[in-house]
Amino acid sequence: MSIVRDAEIAATPTRGGFATLFSNVNRWRVPLSVLALCILPWILPSQALAVNVLIYGLVAVGYNLLFGYTGLLSFGHAAFFGAGAYATGIAIGAFGVNWFAAMLIGLAVAAVLSVIMGVLAIRTRGIYFSMVTLALSQLVYYSALQASSWTGGENGLRGFTVSVLNFPGFSLNFLDPMIKYYAIMVIVALALWFVSRVLNSPFGAVIEAIRENETRARACGYDVERTKLLSFVLSGILCGLAGTLSAMHLSIVPLDSLHYHTSGLIVMMTLLGGAGSFFGPFVGALAFLSMEDVFSLWTSNWQLIVGVIFILFVLYLPKGIWGTLISWWKSR
Amino acid sequence: MTKGIEKLALRQISRRAAILGLAGTAGVLSMPWIARAQAETIRIGFPTPLTGPFAAEANDQVRSAQLAVKLANDKGGIAGRKVELLVRDDKLNAGEAATRTLELIEKDKVHAVVGALSSAVQLAVNEVTRARNMLYISISQSDTINEIKDFSPYTFHEALNPTMTTAVVAKHTFKKGSKVVYLVADYAYGHEMLRGFKRAAKEIGAETVGEILHPFGAADYSTFIPTILSLKPDILCICNFGRDQANSIKQAVDFGVKDMMKIVVPVLLHNQRLAVDPEVFEGVVGGANYYWGLEATVPFAKAFNDAFRAMYKGAIPTDYGAYGYTGVASLLMAIEKVGGTEPQKVIAALETLKYDVAKGEQSYRKCDHQSVQSVLVLESKAKSAMKSDADLFKIIANEPASEGVLRSCSELGFKS
């Protein structure tokens, strides 16, 4: 799928009302995204689904940093998602660490893992990069399957339910779906702000330069390998953060969270929403999860419907939902 | 003056708006009342893998559960309240099941959850329900859910567990000195069954001569069979589930395994037997929680089968399907007994309940909430012995309900 270029969009000379509006929207993208997230639990069928949209939206945004902006197609991001989730779960369940420290541990583990995988995978490019990331993530999957005394193996990790979020001075009932949603939303909003900040920084411009023309970026004097690695690690950490949130949300870590199906799901959501746009992956996660939720209530053949819709998007709207919307908006 | 009129007009509009707003608010406020009047309905959440490799078994579970609900509603409801079953597809994925269960509890405000068809999925549902003090009746085989680490006072396990299934199957198939080779699906189900069989074999005095693991969902078993043949066992014990069962038995039979040894499986699956020719399964022995042929001896089985046939145009209930019926029926009996859905009272009622709805008397053991129930041992019939298309198995034994085949409470980690 082709990629919507934010930098270009931002640089588009103002042509009409819509374009001005668009550049304003782009400038205020983080507050507007957060506003959209605020109303999400009120319009979706359930809060549990809304929390999943937050989590998978964050995964897709993190993934998009690598895929949409740096141009590296990884098939192994489930490893970071799962590693963050398992590390958080084990920290709480086995070591009795409090939820905040457990989240930091989850992030640290995802970061270390993404450095290791990144160093090994960055040397390759194209399809080989995808295959190396896939192979490494399967390695993580089978390690988790074998280390069943730590991870619960096939049965998944259990026994670390977070029912109260303790802060100095007050606490929140994490079992209440609305409180849970908004607590997780705050963390996701911070992550979105962070991503926006990264994209607006010189680093953001460099990764896009690498995506557009690696040789030229190298000729300009940028250290391509290091930049790629940094982008890989940032992306891994964001997925790890989503993993820790998922562990706290579901109070279990299924082994499936490390499976390559999850990696595929992340790619699919990103493409559906629009790779290379800031909010696109979020829209993709929202669209995919809502379709799954609604259609599976009607029919057990829901996968057929979702599959057909996905194919239609690939064929006719290759920029994804958000990407198409943005380019339509821009052309007005 | 005109300004005053304008102001008045404005005020009138705003008053109208206020009235409208008030009416709206009143409407919204009255909604929960309407909802509460309907809340008389007892809602039961039912997550099950309608898509995926166990879809056939899952659909049978749903049909049986719907039958239990229909029978309750036909006789005027439970404690004067209608019963509703909310079926959700958990896609055989623990994360999905946890989300669906959260939805059922938070949005649909169910009073209890029944369902799941895999060890990992039921443990995920269990984790969600136990944190929210929600009644859960699990209807899939698992040993882990009995252990104290995963115990929830709100959870009851209606299905057989691997320990009791294998203990009974081994009792009727293994002999002192028998040489046994195990072909095991490499995941929780296979491993739990293997552990159960080996435990039983040790007591009986049977000898394990080989353990071979195969990957979950394997299509090709031909590489394992020469090894099995070279070990020369008396019994080949195949511990896998779903389509794997039919595939592995079919290929073993093609290699002539059945001429040299007996094939034993922990659970002989109705739907898998139907998936292949009778010759393939002929003589294979395995356990079951339910078989429709029980109707010849058990009156409640006859009633259950007849009701099922009436509702589904002559179809018969299957093994895993029956769990849906017995699970929902036992829950409804307990709710009826206490006249409400207050969890603590229902738990107390379930703990003392003796229920016979399909297969003979059952009861939930107090310490781990495992359903103590009869276990059937079935043998697959030859084609010539089948009286009808549904006449698949011969009941070799109907082992009566007994705590003796379960792990003891202290072994599971419970006090006393």
Using one digit for the tens of pLDDT, what is the confidence trace for B262-285?
A: 999 999 999 999 999 999 999 999
Looking at every residue in chain B, the average pLDDT score rounds to 90
Mean predicted confidence (pLDDT) in A12-36: 76
Q: How far is CA B269 from CA A157, B57, B240, in A?
A: 29, 9, 11
- Give the confidence band of B19 by pLDDT, cuts at 50, 70, 90: low
Dihedral over Cα of A79, A83, A84, A86: its sign: positive
Mean pLDDT of A56-70: 96
Using a CB-CB cut-off of 8 Å, the residues of chain A touching B89 are 296, 300, 302
Q: At what angle do helices B55-74 and B299-311 cross, to 10 degrees?
A: 100
Per-residue buried b or exposed e for B229-242, using 16+ beta carbons within 10 Å of the residue's own CB: beeebbbbbbbbbb
**Choice among A188-192, B76-80, B378-382 with the minimum mean pLDDT:** B76-80
Per CATH, which fold does B42-160+295-373 belong to? Answer: Rossmann fold (3.40.50)
The reply to whether residue B123 touches residue A302, judged by beta carbons under 8 angstroms, is no
Instruction: Report pLDDT for B21.
Output: 56
pLDDT of A165 strictly over 80: yes
Q: Please say if the pLDDT value at position A12 is more than 70.
A: no
Q: Is B95 on the interface with A (CB under 8 A)?
A: yes
Nearest CA to A40 out of A144, A181, A146, A176 is that of A181
Does the predicted TM-score (pTM) go above 0.80?
Answer: yes
The per-residue pLDDT for B63 is: 97
Q: What local confidence, expressed as pLDDT, does residue A7 receive? A: 47
Taking CB atoms and an 8 Å limit, are A250 and B99 in contact across chains? yes
Q: What is the pLDDT of residue A286?
A: 96
Write the residue in A177, A256, A296 that is nearest to B89 by C-beta: A296
Q: What is the mean pLDDT of chain A?
A: 91
DSSP-assigned letter for residue B54: T
Looking at the complex, report in whole angstroms how far the Cα of residue B240 sits from the nearest Cα belonging to chain A.
15
Q: Cβ contacts of residue B295 below 8 Å, gap of 6+?
A: B301, B302, B305
Stretch(es) of chain B classified as CATH 3.40.50.2300: 42-160+295-373, 163-288+377-399
Burial class (CB in 10 A: 0-12, 13-18, 19+), B215: exposed
Residues A51-72: what's their mean pLDDT? 96
Distance CA B123, CA B135 (A): 14
**Chain A residues contacting B via beta carbons under 8 Å:** 45-49, 52, 153-156, 158-159, 161, 163, 175, 177, 246, 250-252, 254-257, 296-297, 300-303
Going by C-alpha positions, the residue among B127, B128, B151 that lies closest to residue B415 is B151
> Taking a C-beta distance cutoff of 8 angstroms, is the pair A63, A262 a contact?
no
ipTM of the complex: 0.90
By the 8 A CB rule, do B201 and B170 touch? Answer: yes
Q: What is the pLDDT at residue B22?
A: 57
Q: Which of A245-259, A314-328, B143-157 shows the lowest mean pLDDT across its residues?
A: A314-328
**174-193 of B, contacting A, C-beta below 8 A:** 187-188
Q: Residue A43 pLDDT > 50, yes or no? A: yes
Mean pLDDT computed over B67-76:
96
Burial B369-384 (b: 16+ CB within 10 A, else e): bbbbbbbbbbbbbeee
Give the tens place of pLDDT for each residue, A187-216: 999 999 999 999 999 999 999 999 999 999
Determine the average pLDDT of the residues in B314-321: 94
Nearest chain B residue to A148 by CA: give it. B188
Contacts of A157 in chain B (CB under 8 A): none
pLDDT (average), residues A290-296 = 90
CB contact under 8 A, A46 and B102: yes
Residue-wise pLDDT for A110-160, tens only, equals 999 999 999 999 999 889 999 999 999 999 999 999 999 999 988 999 999
Contact (CB, 8 A) for B241 and B189: yes
CATH for the stretch B163-288+377-399: 3.40.50.2300
Higher-confidence residue of B11 and A74: namely: A74
Which helix (H) or strand (E) segment holds residue B115: the answer is strand B112-115
Burial of residue B158 (number of CB atoms within 10 Å: 0-12, 13-18, 19+):
buried
**Pick from A153, A175, A301: CB nearest B131:** A175
DSSP B89: E
Confidence of residue B16 (pLDDT cuts 50, 70, 90): low
CA A72 to CA B163: how far, in whole Å?
49
Whether residue B40 is predicted with pLDDT greater than 80 in this model: the reply is no
* Most B-contacting residue of A146, A154, A164, A303 (CB-CB within 10 A), to test interface: A154
Across the range B358-379, mean pLDDT stands at: 96
Q: Which of A46, A158, A254 sits opposite B95 (nearest CB)?
A: A254
pLDDT the model gives residue A21: 74
What confidence tier does B33 reach under pLDDT thresholds 50, 70, 90? very low
Contact assignment for A251 to B98 by CB distance below 8 Å: yes
Min Cα separation B272/chain A (Å): 21
Give how far A294 is from chain B: nearest CA, Å.
11
Asked if A177 lies within 8 A of B127 by C-beta distance, the reply is no
Q: Judge whether B131 is closer than 8 Å to chain A, CB to CB.
A: yes
Residue A1's pLDDT is what? 43
pLDDT band at B242 (very low <50, low <70, confident <90, very high): confident
**Of A57-61, A97-101, A322-326, B32-36, the least confident:** B32-36
Q: Is the pLDDT assigned to residue B14 strictly greater than 80?
A: no
**How is residue A103 written in tokens?**
């989240």
Q: What is the pLDDT of residue A327?
A: 87
Residue A111 CB neighbour total at 10 angstroms: 19
Instruction: Select the residue from B123, B128, B193 to test the A interface by mutation, using most A Cβ atoms within 10 A.
Output: B123
Whether the pLDDT of residue B9 is over 70: the answer is no
Q: Which residues of A touch B192 (CB under 8 A)?
A: none
Question: Across residues B244-254, what is the average pLDDT?
Answer: 94
User: Would you place residue B47 in the very low, low, confident or very high pLDDT band (cuts 50, 70, 90)?
Assistant: very high
Question: H or E stretch including B355?
Answer: strand B354-355
